[in-house]
Structure 1
Amino acid sequence: ASMALALIFLGVLLVKTCQASTDVCEQYGFGGSGDGIFLFILLFSTVTVLGFIAFSLHQLVRSSSQAVTVLLLRATGAPPELRLARGIAYHLFLSHVWSSGQDQVAVIKRQLQLCLPGVRVFLDVDDLVDINNLEAYVAQSAAVLIFLSKSYMDSRNCLREARAAIANNKPLVLVH
């Protein structure tokens, strides 16, 4: 936008200069009137806009091709098998306080699902059926990620989840 305004300003300035002195306009190869300058600015602006569009499309294609890739095993080049032990329904339980961690853990879940197809991640907004069974959901998870954000330690339900993780000897991942 700034460049377009600068080009318009430059074009108007050159047209006014040509109107004031046709000799200056002819000396720089724009003819005896401002028509040559107008045509030059129009062509230059068009080329600039087309170049910007081409660059933007290139960046868009490049960024979409660099999307999240699936994690593969180094030894075989295949995705890992994500088995669950008996009595385990989720690979990961996401513990967070709604007021300050909801969006972030949703991103964590989505990114894990993109990198590890088939991963089972418990997130309350997606998987919680009964709030009274929080401890059971933790017990049915292989590991617990605690997203420590503002007010986490003030939340009764978050503390229930943390206590259940410790009581069930679940591996803990702390994210702050």
Structure 2
Amino acid sequence: MVLQKSSSSTSSMVFKVTRKPAELVAPAGPTPHELKLLSDIDDQQALRFHYSGVQIFAYNPSMAGKDPVHVIREALSKALVFYYPLAGRLREGPRGKLMVNCSGEGVLFMEADADVTLDHFGVDPLPPFPCFDELLYDVRSSHDGIINSPLLLLQVKLFTHTMIVSL
């Protein structure tokens, strides 16, 4: 893909992002199956969208010989036992009131690789991040928006000596 830097520079940046198929990561153990009503503050029409965020982690020598994608996938599965509502789906109840169906279906997880280093972007890894939209997985929600969609999408992107986790 050809991407433009988001600076005043007119030079273009060419790199390739390879994504593996998305998978659902379920809790590592049993979780309660229940409905949790959202508060009136959380259940506002203006808040019914997926939010994107990026965390950037430099290479850590203590991770030598370990697959960071496997480590994150396993840790996520274990964390979902305690944060089990994140593995559920939003549902609409009476009068459109939102609730979380704690179903344990899982969160969407994707692995991606990019053939560049973070240094190629020529900026500190602070917002606004160049090529942000091109690096993120495009969440194609159902026709109902966030209703019945995974509540969390985690994409782990590996650059040379850097890892980006997109939410």
TM-score normalized with structure 1 length: 0.22
Greater helix share, 1 or 2? Answer: 1
Greater strand share, 1 or 2? Answer: 2
Rg bigger for which structure?
1
Where relative contact order (Cα < 8 A, 6+ residues apart) is larger, the structure is 2
TM-score normalized with structure 2 length: 0.23
